[in-house]
Amino acid sequence: MLVYQFQHLGKNTIILPFLGILSVKSDMRQATLCFLLKDNQILLAMKKRAFGQGKWNGVGGKPNPNENIKDTAIRETEEEIKVTPKNIELMAVLDFHFKYKPEWDQQVLAYITTEWEGDPTETEEMKPQWFDLDKIPYNSMWTSDTLWLPLILKNKKVKGKVIFGENETIISKKVYEIQHF
């Protein structure tokens, strides 16, 4: 089976030779993550409420209607930790599926930034904290973070798909490096 990507057909276009196009468009909603990096440290933030509550994560959220996703990444970082990123770079595009909670399905675009204005500040939604790169608290993060975060911290760009079963266990995973998006 051949899997191609055609911009005009959408993200998940599968073409079976002689059989035609099997599936065309991904309708997953999108969300962003932004990680601040300085020296040998990464800024994570404790999610204080709602989806992902109690986990350390990058900062982000969902686009407003008609909002460009990169603008979402910047706006959410401003809203959640009072920092304005100046140079964000897309490092990962990750499809997360929840077999028993399909309403949680989302495609997450993860960005890194090394330049910003403002000091990370706690808000009602997130409590930011710097971590040494060798002390990332993976035990208190989404379990799938170990699959892709170490790669983007080595400056690799990645795509991935993870399917979660019950209790956030991973029942299927595929993460691979790409040259560019």
Compute how many residues bind ligand 6OG; rule: CB under 6 A. 16
Burial class (CB in 10 A: 0-12, 13-18, 19+), 81: buried
- Given a contact cutoff of 8 angstroms between Cβ atoms, the answer to whether 152 and 176 are in contact is no
Q: Which is nearer to ligand 6OG, 13 or 44 (CB)?
A: 44
Cα–Cα distance measured from residue 89 to residue 138, given in angstroms and rounded to the nearest whole number: 23
Site map 87..126 versus ligand 6OG, x via CB under 6 A: ---------x---------x-x------------------
Residue 176 as a binder of ligand 6OG (CB under 6 A): the answer is no
Site map 52..91 versus ligand 6OG, x via CB under 6 A: x----x--xxx-----------------------------
Residue 43 as a binder of ligand 6OG (CB under 6 A): the answer is no
The distance of closest approach from Cβ of residue 96 to ligand 6OG in the complex, given in angstroms and rounded to an integer, is 4
Stretch in the footprint of ligand 6OG (CB under 6 A) among 16-24, 25-33, 66-74, 127-135: 25-33
Residue 160 as a binder of ligand 6OG (CB under 6 A): the answer is no
Binding-site member from 88, 112, 144, 152 for ligand 6OG (CB under 6 A)? 144
Q: Which residues lie near ligand 6OG (CB under 6 A)?
A: 31-33, 50-52, 57, 60-62, 96, 106, 108, 142, 144-145
